[in-house]
Structure 1
Amino acid sequence: MGVFFKRVIAILKYYIPLQAMGLIFSILLAISEIASPMVSKYCIDEVIPGNSMEKLYLGIGVFVIVCTMQPILGYLCGMIFLRLKEKISLNLKNQVFSKIVHAPINFYDKTYEGHIISRILNDGNAAASFLSSFMTGFLQNLILLIMIIAAMLYLSVKITVIVLTFFIIYYIIYYLVSRRFRNLSMILQKNYDMECTAITQTINSIDTLKSYMLEEEKISHYNELLKKCYKDNIKIGTLSMLVNNLTSIVRIISLSLIYGIGSISVMKGESSVGDIIAIGLYFQMFTGPFMGLLQNATNIQKNIPIFDRLYEYLNMKTEKLDQEEGGRLEGDIILDNISFSYEKDSYALKNINMKIKSRTITAITGTSGSGKSSLIKIIAGFYNNFTGQIIFSGRNMKEMCLKDIRRNIGYVSQNVELFNISLKDNIRCGDKKVSDKDIINICRRLQIHDKIISLPKGYESIVNERINLSGGEIQRIGIARALIKKPSILILDEPTASLDTDNEAAVAEILQEIKKECTVIVVSHRHSTIEMADKVITLHKGEVYEEKPFYENLSKDHVEAII
């Protein structure tokens, strides 16, 4: 619980001026609400018996002013808390998103896409809603409750003590019941994670799903998940209704006692009718802030798991992109006894030793699962939890800043993802130094220029579902994006997999030109791509199986396997 409040304070301390303003208006609202029953008592005990029109006008005037102030102050409080909520939501989501973007690649290897979306949207909104009302709402309810109890004690100590005794008993029961909210809240958040994951996985794999006629199976799986959500929602809903109905019972009993004991007190001349009516009105006001405080306690239990989930991301170690400038990595790349594993006791790469000469094309091939993608991702600086050394131009990779590595390496993944921005900005990829002329030239070299200018807005076309680009065209845009940064090292994962024969030959020709400017590393199974390489390295079960200086020297068996 102490950790939870430290987290709450750490976030709220940046919004003290807004909270202070909300608290001031909340206190004014509480005072205006407290005044209403006293005005009613004045009218009943003073105005009516005295037949005084002057007192009547005064009482009605004060009552109108007090009642008019309540919605005005309520509106101002609502606007302040709305702004507070949206500011917290904006900053909190931005912090979590920033952490996710800067997270190392291995975070994505073990985290479902749906879980990430749920943390940002669902947990971010829930935490913001809680934080925006917690501190100020708690103080507002507490101040109003103290004022109400003081007013009730002033009017009748005996009635107030009896009523408070019932509410203390009710609070004990409420506390025992509400302890279950924390566990149920965690279950609901996990259910939301699974629901998001099920939806995103279904959408992302819709082709496979339809190809294997898995529609009904997926629907059945999602239906089972919804049934679980239904049962858990019923549990927490039943618990909430139990608490609410228990409140109604206590409220009815308390009101009966107030008017019953109050009537006897009036008959004995110990209290006036106005006193009892005022106490009744105060009691009806009492249940609001009292339940508000109890709801705060329940919300704490509900939000502890939400904050745990958010801070799991907020406390996550991220990649550090230092500002060091180390120049271009023009020399050879040496891998010295590299071993790497995603999980303990299961090596993806083992004892890799190789030398990649500067300004050559090195093809890496092998069966599926042999470690090809793992190897190029380590060279690209995506993973640093490997053993051994990688030497770039005489510099140890682990002693270099990550920004320097990323600046020197152009990486093209097998499945190129384009951002929802213009094609020109997709190729420029944030580098403002790249001119439009540079972009057009590289696209002409990759034979994608004609396709782009045929689009209604040409290079300004926004990437979305309506842009008709083939897989090969998207692949070439990805290659253009890598080449435009003029890297020292170019890494391509199956760059020609989606290209036809003509475009494949064009890319191969470009790579032959590019190797004059940078070192090229290609993962491929394609005959033509491997044939153009200066060296071919074959991996098998995470180890170097065969390494030959050029295609013709490969073993006959391996040539047949490639073909």
Structure 2
Amino acid sequence: MGPGGGKAKNFKETMKKLIAYCKSYVPLIILALVLGMAGAILNILGPEYLSQITDIIIEGIMTEIDLEAVVDVAIFLAILYGIGVVFNFAQGYIMATITQRVAKNLRTDISTKINRLPLKYFDKTSYGDILSRVTNDVDLIGQTMNQSLGTLVGSITMFLGSLIMMFYTNWIMALAAIASTIVGFVLMGSIISKSQKYFVQQQQHLGKLNGHIEEIYTGHNVVKVYNGEKEAKHVFHDVNTKLYDSAWKSQFMSGLMMPLMMFVGNFGYVVVSIVGAVLAHNGSISFGVIVAFMVYIRLFTQPLAQIAQAATGLQSTAAASERVFEFLAEEELQDESDKHERLETAKGNVEFRNVRFGYSDDKLVINNFSATAKAGQKVAIVGPTGAGKTTLVNLLMRFYEINDGEILIDGVPIRNLTRENIHDLFCMVLQDTWLFEGTIRENIVFSKKGVTDEEVEAACKAVGLHHFIKTLPKGYDTVLDDKANLSAGQKQLITIARAVVENAPLLILDEATSSVDTRTEVLIQQAMDKLTVGKTSFVIAHRLSTIRNADLILVMKDGDIVESGNHEELLSQNGFYAELYNSQFEDAS
């Protein structure tokens, strides 16, 4: 499903949720709607006084026009319309303020919600879809709420009020006016019913197009390397053509409503003129009544199109709200407010006891895994792709919850600790370097408080990055953006410096040298060796040459430890590790 729009699955239920979400603003919304209704009523009263002015003028044509009476009625009418404008302005101001605050609150809640969702949610949901809810759907809610709610109430008031005033003024002309507009109801209803499906398709195709563009431009280099431009263009043009087709049909049919209502209004003028002329000729009404009905016809027919557009807008609001509330209702990480046990620091003893885990209940990735890492040890985790190495680290960080077994830090089960506490005990260097648009200093410090410039420089000196940074025009204040030309190795060294500054007792290195050349790998390896001093380190590496000095090597295969020991011990066993190690050197030779 693309961004909000079209028709909600459960309009009534979704609108209840939206009203409940806006409950703190309900009194102001009611005030705004009352002001809108009052403004509409004042506009409805206007034609009655226009009729009076017309009759005064007609009566005075043969003798003398009573200008004083005309001026009195005109001033009163101007005041009436002026108050109506003030009411409508106040209503618009209140609704614009409320809807933007609601949109702001929704974005804030979505942002908070993202941090509470388990990683498994992102495994099954595309980033493009999530971004669409934060941007397109929330914007649509703000826009359509502001435009549709006030318009709907004002238009209904205008429609019913003008209907009452027409019957109050003359029932025969009222029936003639209604008969001339019935055709408008029929045609408009037909157009709305047929255009709805095109609005739904438009939003669906828009979501697909957004997702496709995000995927292609994120992996632009890969698309280029594999000459995938032709296929990417084909997919783009296919979705874009479908979007064009559905958007054209929906907008064309939607655009028909206004010309149609203008025709109905003009047809109404003709009918009122003919019927009014007959009645005036018979002496049943004055000429002023015909003038009043001319205005009433406009006030009666104009709201029809506005009501239809407002109803469509509310459908779009409901569809967008449904997607946002679906996201906000997603299952969150377990509440940890009841957990009071905390490790301020850790010696670094880590134990895995009979750990079992699967991303789905029917397929286990980790089978009965047990291992012990002593404080200060460098533990390497090796094995073929899909053996469960990265999964093991994710479980240690409690990014996922284990199915069975236990993981302990200094004898404390991690399930007894909050995730925030666990994350405080770790620093991490990953294969994919993550840098944000900010200065080098800000990237190194990131979220840690109270870090001095001296500590940042000391970290960069420790990883061999200080000299390079000093060669940059702005040094540590150089902004890392699209214009910053850093190599993969330099980016990796910045993330290692970030880990040095964090200075947590436990360290995770996930294939941190896999994307760099051999010379840079040596520099990064030296930096990581300094980083691991005094820390319990878990190192995931495909290049076995980088973990020969590890205190303990865990060899994984199909979610289990098949061998463990140091480098020499494992080679002497001439088992699976020796096979992996020798095959890498054979490949290198």
TM-based fold match above 0.5: yes
What's the counterpart of residue 259 of structure 1?
273
Give, in whole Å, the separation in 2 of the partners of 1:467 and 1:453.
14
- Residue among 383, 407, 414 paired with 1:397: 414
What's the counterpart of residue 368 of structure 1?
385
How far did residue 416 of structure 1 move? 1.3
Task: Judge conservation of contact 2:508–2:539 (CA < 8 Å) in 1.
Answer: yes
Task: Judge conservation of contact 1:92–1:128 (CA < 8 Å) in 2.
Answer: no
Give, in whole Å, the separation in 2 of the partners of 1:194 and 1:373.
31
- Residue among 171, 179, 182 paired with 1:157: 171
Give, in whole Å, the separation in 1 of the partners of 2:343 and 2:451.
21
Task: Judge conservation of contact 2:356–2:402 (CA < 8 Å) in 1.
Answer: no
- SS of 1:384's partner is coil
User: 1:206 corresponds to which letter in structure 2?
Assistant: H
Give, in whole Å, the separation in 1 of the partners of 2:405 and 2:246.
50
Instruction: Indicate whether 1:558 and 2:572 are aligned.
Output: no
How far did residue 214 of structure 1 move? 1.5
- SS of 1:414's partner is coil
Task: Judge conservation of contact 1:475–1:498 (CA < 8 Å) in 2.
Answer: no
Q: 1:101-146: per-residue Cα shift (whole Å, max 9, x none)? A: 4322222222222212211111111111122244433332333333
Instruction: Indicate whether 1:44 and 2:54 are aligned.
Output: yes
- Residue among 235, 240, 249 paired with 1:221: 235
- Counterparts in 2 of 1:246-325, with a 5 A limit? 246-319=260-333, 320=335, 322=337, 324=340, 325=342
Select between 441-450 and 542-551 the one with higher mean Cα deviation.
542-551
Instruction: Indicate whether 1:96 and 2:110 are aligned.
Output: yes
- Residue among 396, 410, 416 paired with 2:433: 416
Aligned residues: 563
Task: Judge conservation of contact 1:138–1:292 (CA < 8 Å) in 2.
Answer: yes
Shift in CA distance, 461/17, structure 1 to aligned 2, threshold 3 Å: farther
Instruction: Indicate whether 1:7 and 2:17 are aligned.
Output: yes
In structure 2, stretches of 5+ residues that fail to align are: 1-10
Task: Judge conservation of contact 1:422–1:462 (CA < 8 Å) in 2.
Answer: yes
Give, in whole Å, the separation in 1 of the partners of 2:490 and 2:403.
35
What's the counterpart of residue 520 of structure 1?
537
- SS of 1:335's partner is strand
User: 2:14 corresponds to which letter in structure 1?
Assistant: F
User: 1:11 corresponds to which letter in structure 2?
Assistant: Y
Shift in CA distance, 417/478, structure 1 to aligned 2, threshold 3 Å: same
Give, in whole Å, the separation in 2 of the partners of 1:210 and 1:528.
33
Select between 195-204 and 349-358 the one with higher mean Cα deviation.
349-358
- Residue among 494, 499, 514 paired with 1:482: 499
* CA RMSD in angstroms, aligned pairs only: 2.7
Shift in CA distance, 314/166, structure 1 to aligned 2, threshold 3 Å: farther
Give, in whole Å, the separation in 2 of the partners of 1:101 and 1:336.
29
Q: 1:29-88: per-residue Cα shift (whole Å, max 9, x none)? A: 324422432232112112331311212322443444455566565555444433333222
Shift in CA distance, 375/185, structure 1 to aligned 2, threshold 3 Å: farther
Instruction: Indicate whether 1:469 and 2:486 are aligned.
Output: yes
Instruction: Indicate whether 1:235 and 2:249 are aligned.
Output: yes
What's the counterpart of residue 143 of structure 2?
129
Q: 1:337-374: per-residue Cα shift (whole Å, max 9, x none)? A: 32323345333333322222221111112222222222
User: 1:274 corresponds to which letter in structure 2?
Assistant: G
- SS of 1:547's partner is strand
Task: Judge conservation of contact 2:145–2:317 (CA < 8 Å) in 1.
Answer: no
Shift in CA distance, 18/517, structure 1 to aligned 2, threshold 3 Å: farther
Shift in CA distance, 222/530, structure 1 to aligned 2, threshold 3 Å: same
When normalised by structure 2's length, the TM-score is 0.87
Select between 200-209 and 255-264 the one with higher mean Cα deviation.
255-264
What's the counterpart of residue 446 of structure 1?
463
Instruction: Indicate whether 1:29 and 2:29 are aligned.
Output: no
When normalised by structure 1's length, the TM-score is 0.91
Task: Judge conservation of contact 2:43–2:80 (CA < 8 Å) in 1.
Answer: yes
Give, in whole Å, the separation in 1 of the partners of 2:116 and 2:75.
62
Give, in whole Å, the separation in 2 of the partners of 1:242 and 1:16.
35
- SS of 1:484's partner is helix
Task: Judge conservation of contact 1:19–1:136 (CA < 8 Å) in 2.
Answer: no
How far did residue 180 of structure 1 move? 5.4
- SS of 1:342's partner is coil
Percent pairwise identity:
24
Select between 435-444 and 157-166 the one with higher mean Cα deviation.
157-166
User: 1:476 corresponds to which letter in structure 2?
Assistant: L
In structure 1, stretches of 5+ residues that fail to align are: none
Select between 475-484 and 71-80 the one with higher mean Cα deviation.
71-80
Q: 1:257-278: per-residue Cα shift (whole Å, max 9, x none)? A: 3222222221221111111221
Task: Judge conservation of contact 2:444–2:495 (CA < 8 Å) in 1.
Answer: yes
How far did residue 148 of structure 1 move? 1.8
